[in-house]
Structure formats: structure tokens, C-alpha cells
Amino acid sequence: MLKRVLVGVAAVVMLAGAAMAGPVEDAEAAYDRGDFVTARTLLRPLADQGNAQAQMLLGYIYDNGKDVEPDHAEAIKWYRKAAEQGEANAQYHLGAIYHYGQGVAKDRVRAAKWFQKAAKQGQVYAQYEVGRLFQYGIGVPENLSYAIIWFKRAAEQGLAEAQYSLGIFYMPATVPDTPHEHANITEAAKWFLLAAEQSHAEAQIKIGEMHADGLGVLQDTAAAVNWFKLAAEQGHAKGMYGLALSYLNPEIKGIPKDKVQGHMWLNLAASYGDRSAGRDRDGFAENMTAESILRAQILARNWRPKDGGKQKTNKDAVALRIDAERGDDVAQWKLGEMYRSGRDFLQDFQEAMTWYTRAANHGNAAAQYALGSIYTEATGVPQNYVAGHMWLNLAAAGGHHLAFKARNDLTELMTSDQVAEAQRLAREWKPEPEQ
């Protein structure tokens, strides 16, 4: 799906290629300092007089609801007036409105018309969009050669997304439908690198993979790891996964192995939706100590993305946490399950224990069974058969269908004194209402 890029006023002015003076310049300055009322007041009479730049800027204000309710009809009116005078940025924004159908019916043919008009004037975002239109045959006949031409024009102006797209086209076998004559591994590496240097995460992963394999560039494990790390630090799951494997896979030479770092990055990748990372995390954890896993999980818990990357949030967990904080034992147990499993979520045994314990103290049998299993299996905590037996005993008494057998199996591993102590603790246990 095309990503709509809304160019800021400062960029609009730069791309227009002409210095603005007088009231239009004053309106731009007002906009940049967030005084949209003054900007609109200054722009309106100029727009009414036919000033194309003022019309475009006024359309942008209405389009984005800057100190006014978004008004697509008003935005379209002013964009169109400016676009018909040849204002490239207005043509681009008008094309975007028709492409997405904001305030008008979607019209991909009309969108392509305005994008192309802007692109021919050098509007970099329009050039990129025209490349995508030709790539997928949206509003124009599909033509990969034309797509490359327009991507290259935008890429040569420094647009990272276009540079990345060019890299994809030139990468052999990356795009199955790309004619063979477009494959050029050296060109692919060149454009991936340019995009990567602008913090384009997907490009960072691509150039990292190329360095790891020695494909089109020198094989350089340190460089590959560096690019994976830069992508990972932006919150990109594939970069996290590549970085983790660099730390864990003994076949990857040139970087010291580190299970704690590897587990941390696999855990983060899993929390960002990489299912393979979750499976690998759990597999590698089988050969780690509880202390090492705990260190890795603490690192993952405290990690924050850099360079404007987004912190991953889980809507289900947010909703559950609200109910759990209010003392809902079922929500507390479910939140414990999410932290324990780490499926599409950050695995954190300490957090799991916290929520299981709160639910178990309410008398929740499922949470009591979970605690019994954790203490028995030493999942992120020191093994404690007495505590495990106590919780399994309570869960069995509460009717949990798996707790009876689990408790009896555990009894076979315990001494008589341990069993007696566990039974005493269970006998004396009382629910603890939350304050």
C-alpha cells in the first residue's frame, strides 16, 4: 500500500525552488512556530488573489487540520487552484487525496495524472509515487522500466525510500517478476547503502545481509552486525532477529558469542511479531541458566528504541493490565500467561510471577497451578519443590484438572520432610485481598 507523505511547510518551500518574500514568508514563519491562525489569516487574501504558493499552503492547513477541523473539501479546492497553476507540491498533495479517496471518491487514474505532473517538475515524493504506480500498474499500465526511471530520479535527490526500492529492483531474485536485465548486485548494494545511511531500517537489514553473505560487497561480519544493530535499535524485528543470530549461531564467525545478548534480541524480535524469533528464543533458553535468562529479560524490559523508532505495545495487554490493576484475578492470570509465553509479547518471567502471585493470592486455581509449575521446573526462578508442591496442592483443591497429577508426580521427587512442610504451608495459606 502506498504511504502518503505529507511534506512539511519548510520542505514545501524548499521544494518549490523559489524564495518566498513578504506576507507568504511571514505566513510560513507563523506556521513553523505553530501559530496556524496567523498563518491562515495571512494566506487567505493572497490565496484569493491567486498566489499559488499561498493556495497550496492554505490547502495543506485544511488538509491536516492545523488549528481547524480537517476539511478535505476546502483542502481540495485550494490544492486544485494551485495545482492548475502548476504548483508542484499542490499537484502532489492533490494526487495523494485522489489516491486515498479523502473527501472524494478514489480515482487512481486522476491521482496518477497529478502525481506525474508534479514528478515532471522534480517533486521528489511525487517521483517516488509515480515509480510505485508503474511498478504495480495503479492508474497507469505496469511498466518496470518506467518504475526504475522514476525511482532513480527520486533516489538521486536523496529520498531513502526510493533508494531502497531501487535496491530491491536491482537485487537478483528479490522481485520474482523483475526481468533479468534489471539484476545488478553492485547497483543494489549501492542504493541499499545510501538508504541505510539515512536510517532506513529495511535497507540496513539488506546491506547487513549482503555483508554477512559477501554478496555484492565484501564479506564483513562486523559490518553486518553493525547494520543489523542499527535496524534493531529502531525497533525492526528482522534486524533484531539477525543481530540475535549473530550472537548465538556458532557458524557465524567474527563476533563473540553471547547468549544473554542473543536471548534479549530474540525476545524483543518476538515481541515485535517475529514468530520464528519466539521459537528460537525458547529453544536457546533450554541451554541457559535461570540467572542468564533473567539477565536477558531484564535487558529486554529496559530496552528502548532509538532514532524515533516506536516502542512496541500490545493492545490486549494494555486492556488486561487495566483490569489486573483493579484486582481482577482472571486478568492477572492472563497477563501472567502473556509474560510467561512471550508470544507476540515480551517474555518476562519476573513480571509473570508478579501477576500469577497476585491472582493466586485471590485463590485463582489456574494461577496457582502456573506458580506450582514454575517452581517445579525452575522457569526463570530457582527450583523450589516445597513452594511448587504448596501451589499445586492449592490448585488441585481448587479444582484445576492438571494440578492433581502434577502434585503427585512432584511428591515422588521430594523427601518426607519437604512434603510435610509444603502441606503445612498449603494448610495455613489464606487468600490475601488486595489493598
* Residue-level pLDDT at 352: 94
Helix ranges restricted to H, 326-415: 329-341, 349-360, 365-377, 385-397, 403-411
Domains of the chain, start order: 199-312 (1.25.40.10), 316-428 (1.25.40.10)
Distance CA 261, CA 259 (A): 6
**How far, in whole angstroms, is CA 137 from its chain's centroid?**
28
Q: State the Cα–Cα distance between residues 354 and 344, nearest whole angstrom.
A: 20
pTM: 0.80
Cα 261 from Cα 292, distance rounded (Å): 10
Residue 201: partners with Cβ closer than 8 Å, 6 or more residues away: 230, 231, 234, 236, 239, 309
Q: What per-residue confidence (pLDDT) applies to 2?
A: 33
Q: The cell 535497507 sits on which residue? A: 203
The string over 60-89, giving b where at least 16 C-beta atoms fall within 10 Å of a residue's C-beta and e elsewhere, is bbbbeebeeeebbebbbbbbbbbbeeebbb
Length of the chain: 435
Among positive and negative, which fits the CA dihedral 373, 378, 381, 382?
positive
Closest CA to 402 of 377, 376, 365, 427: 365
Contacts of residue 104, defined as CB under 8 A and 6 or more positions apart, other chains included, come to 72, 76, 97, 98
Which pairs with CB-CB distance under 8 Å and at least 24 residues apart come from 152-159?
153/119, 153/122, 153/127, 154/124, 154/125, 154/127, 154/128, 155/191, 155/194, 157/122, 157/124, 157/127, 158/124, 158/194, 158/198, 159/124, 159/125, 159/127, 159/128
**Going residue by residue through the chain (435 aa), what tens digit of pLDDT does each one get?**
333 444 443 344 433 333 344 778 888 888 888 888 888 888 999 999 999 999 999 999 998 887 788 888 999 999 999 999 999 999 999 999 999 998 899 999 999 999 999 999 999 999 999 999 999 999 999 999 999 999 999 999 999 999 999 999 898 764 455 455 678 899 999 999 999 999 999 999 999 999 999 999 999 999 999 999 999 999 999 999 999 999 998 888 888 899 999 999 999 999 998 989 999 999 999 899 888 999 999 999 999 998 666 667 778 888 889 999 999 999 999 999 999 998 878 999 999 999 999 999 999 999 999 999 999 998 878 899 999 999 999 999 999 999 999 999 999 999 999 999 999 999 999 998 776
Q: List phi, psi (to 5°) of 327.
A: 100, 10
SS3 state of residue 226: helix
